[in-house]
Amino acid sequence: MSPRAKSRYSSKSALRARAAVLVAGMGASLALGAGVALAADTAQSNSALSVAPAGDLGKSVQAQADALQKAIDAEKAAAKKAAAEKAAKEAAAEKKAAELAAAKKKAAEEAAAKAKKAAEERQKAAEAAKKAAEAKARSWETPVASYSIGAAFGLAGNLWAHNHSGQDFVVPSGTSVRAAHGGVVVKAGGNGAGDGPAYGNAIVIKHDDNTYSQYAHLSQVKVWVGQTVTTGQEIGLSGSTGNSTGPHLHFEIRTTPNYGSAVEPLAFLRSHGVKV
């Protein structure tokens, strides 16, 4: 039992004891008054003097009883008020705890929603990048970004043993040459990569539709046989090696990896959506 509870219990015990004493005293006083009255009747003298003190004593006892009752009522009211205050504090604490829990739950839900949205956005970005990569893999490009059109396919002249087998893109020496379409390198190196010294340094790439692209007169070859390349990937640098009158890129589209199977390259590129 707490000190406060012990004090309250002791106070109540004292009040009860006082009430018991007062009740006992009242009983004794009443008995005494009755005795005095009986003696007065018997002796027929001093009756006023004997009865009067008994009446005063009764009033005193009643007053003390009333005061004690008020004290008991006050103690009960104080206890009730304390209990109500305690209940109010406990209810306020519970409400605060519930509000805190609700705030934490809301914060967690908002964080989860934010994380989910971020994950969805990353997923969308990844899917978009994948689609773009797939579209690029299906697409074709010109083998150089900026150029002037040179000697055309099929052109006759004393510069070639036969009619011109490709399309020339006139660019400065050292210009980045890129794969017109993704595929696998099947030829790379000097001597036309096996097609003859007239081509100088050359590269041939096999594509997924069983067509081949050739890049000749390069100053530098940056790929090797068996390497997989993607559309737009740099594969070499332009130059003027082999039978060349100046820096340019000789570009062919072939049906086989070898010389003699070329088709008109510009028409081919345009049929695949390339603006040339």
d(C-alpha 206, C-alpha 242), whole Å: 23
Q: Comparing C-alpha atoms, which of 37, 38, 41, 42 is closest to residue 52?
A: 37
Entry field: residues in the chain: 276
Contacts of 243 (CB under 8 A, 6+ apart): 159, 160, 197, 198, 199, 200
Tokens of 157: 């002249």
Q: Comparing C-alpha atoms, which of 64, 42, 60 is closest to residue 52?
A: 60
Q: Which residues are catalytic?
A: 248
Beta-carbon neighbour count of residue 218 at 10 Å?
A: 28
